[in-house]
Amino acid sequence: MRHITAILILAASLAAQTAREVTEFTIFKRSEAVKILPGVEIALKNADAAKQRFAIDVTVDGHKIERKDMDIRVPFYFVVGDNTQPHELVVLKVGADQIVGRISAPK
C-alpha cells in the first residue's frame, strides 16, 4: 500500500512540474519590441512568407537574443528569471511582415 501512495505522490508532483500556460501572439514588423509576458519582449526583424522563415529579437530580463533565419514550428527555449524550467517559443505561421505563434511557460 505504501508503494501505491508513493507512486501517486510522485505522479502528482510530475504533473505539477509539467503544467504549462500557453500564450498565443501575433507580431507585426515595427521598430519597437512587443511585450508578450512579464520579462519577455519580441521584435520581428524580417519575415519571408514564401520560404516561411523569419528573424526576431527576443529580450529576456533585459538581455537581447538575436535569432536569424529561423524556420516555423522549430521551438526556441529560454529561461526567464529564477525559473529552472524553460519557456518555449514556437512560430506557427509567417505572413507578409508578421508572425503568429505561441509561448508555453511553466505555471
For residue 38 the three cell numbers come to: 512579464
pLDDT tens digits, residue range 32-84?
899 999 999 999 999 999 999 999 999 999 999 999 999 999 999 999 988 88
Return mean pLDDT, the chain.
Answer: 87
User: For residue 71, what is the DSSP state?
Assistant: E
Q: What pLDDT, in 10s, does the model give residues 20-31?
A: 899 999 999 987
3-class secondary structure, 8: helix
Q: How far apart are CA 26 and CA 10, in angstroms?
A: 38
Neighbouring C-beta atoms of residue 70, cutoff 10 Å: 17
How far CA 88 is from CA of 10, 22, 65, in Å, comes to 24, 9, 14
